[in-house]
């Protein structure tokens, strides 16, 4: 019986594995809904990585299963296995293929980052050196480096050199987020943005490093004490989405959560008007509650109620 060439087996395996990997990679439903213009870019990159991961899994695990069957020890066979001392062609193959994959993914990820608005440090007017020099120049009051971000996700190539439709100053502190709308003077504990608007968040932190993360937007950016950062996005789906601190920031880190509410333009305008009127009243409003200031029972009470446990 003539032996089937290895190249033919490889071709058949590729014809079997490729469509399965591509289908799973495009239909996995592992990610939350897309709610920003940046989300499809991230998902496209994730789908490619997941497709490659599925293919590698099938190849490795399939090879193990085949070898377990083909090269199993038969009853009565006490002979030694065939001695093998390296295979240069195989070693070059399994080194070259991952290298090409990693380099390709690296180039693709940089392209995605730039399309999302990754800041170009070499051309940005406020480099780290310039910012440090301006911070040390206490007598110069004209510089704005402390309020101008030079790290983060900024304008995309399509919106480069264009001002954002809405600017919000975001401050992270243990253990809450505060959102300040400088044009209207509104200060809230929730982020409200209009649908389809180019929104710029100027992030800062009072104490330790926090991380502003909206999973549905596929965007995450650190808020760093003393170093302004930026996050710019366009929301594409109305709704309410969680804002999570993704950087361990202390004992109550897990409770440092709020939400971003995406309105239609009309709803957003109404919210602006109503909130401005409410905050102009004499009675102060509670913008955010610091869990560290709560007693144990006060902190656990919302969770106990959700679990249906009576006191």
Domain residues of the chain, as ranges? 6-72+90-116, 150-289
How many residues are listed for the chain in this entry? 311
67-94 pLDDT per residue, tens: 898 888 888 888 887 787 888 888 898 8
Give me the pLDDT at residue 136, please. Answer: 45
Q: Return the residue matching tokens 């899994």.
A: 57
Task: Summarize the confidence of residues 37-66 as an average pLDDT.
Answer: 94
User: How does residue 297 score in pLDDT terms, banded at 50, 70 and 90?
Assistant: low
Q: How far apart are CA 156 and CA 119, in angstroms?
A: 9
pTM (2 decimals)?
0.75
Q: Is the predicted pLDDT of residue 281 greater than 50, yes or no?
A: yes
CATH number corresponding to 150-289: 2.60.40.420
Helix (H) or strand (E) holding 198, with range, is strand 198-205
User: How does residue 135 score in pLDDT terms, banded at 50, 70 and 90?
Assistant: very low
C-beta of residue 249 within 8 angstroms of C-beta of residue 175: yes
DSSP, collapsed to helix, strand or coil, labels residue 296 as helix
C-beta of residue 259 within 8 angstroms of C-beta of residue 180: no
């Amino acid at each position: 019986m003539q032996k089937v060439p290895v190249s033919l087996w490889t071709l058949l395996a590729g014809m079997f594995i490729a469509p399965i990997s591509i289908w799973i990679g495009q239909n996995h439903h592992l990610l939350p809904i897309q709610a920003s213009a940046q989300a499809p870019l991230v998902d496209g990159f994730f789908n490619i990585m997941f497709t490659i991961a599925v293919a590698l899994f099938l190849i490795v695990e399939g090879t193990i299963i085949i070898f377990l069957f083909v090269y199993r020890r038969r009853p009565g066979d006490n002979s030694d296995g065939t001695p093998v001392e390296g295979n240069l062609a195989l070693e070059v193959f399994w080194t070259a293929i991952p290298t090409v994959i990693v380099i390709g993914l690296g180039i693709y990820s940089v392209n995605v980052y730039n399309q999302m608005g990754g800041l170009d440090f070499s051309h940005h007017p406020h480099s780290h050196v310039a910012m440090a020099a301006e911070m040390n120049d206490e007598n110069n009051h004209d510089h704005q480096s402390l309020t101008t971000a030079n790290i983060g996700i900024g304008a995309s190539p399509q919106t480069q050199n264009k001002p954002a439709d809405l600017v919000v100053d975001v401050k992270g502190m243990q253990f809450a987020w505060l959102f300040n709308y400088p044009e209207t003077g509104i200060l809230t504990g929730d982020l409200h943005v209009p649908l389809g608007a180019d929104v710029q968040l100027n992030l800062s932190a009072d104490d330790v490093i926090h991380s502003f993360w909206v999973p549905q937007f596929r965007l995450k950016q650190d808020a760093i004490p003393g170093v302004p950062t930026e996050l710019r996005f366009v929301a594409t789906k109305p709704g309410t989405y969680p804002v999570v601190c993704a950087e361990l920031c202390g004992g109550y880190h897990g409770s440092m959560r709020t939400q971003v509410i995406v309105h239609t333009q009309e709803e957003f305008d109404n919210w602006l008007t109503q909130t401005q009127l409410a905050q102009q009243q004499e009675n102060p409003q509670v913008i955010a509650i610091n869990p560290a200031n709560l007693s144990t029972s006060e902190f656990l009470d919302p969770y106990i109620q959700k679990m249906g446990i009576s006191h």
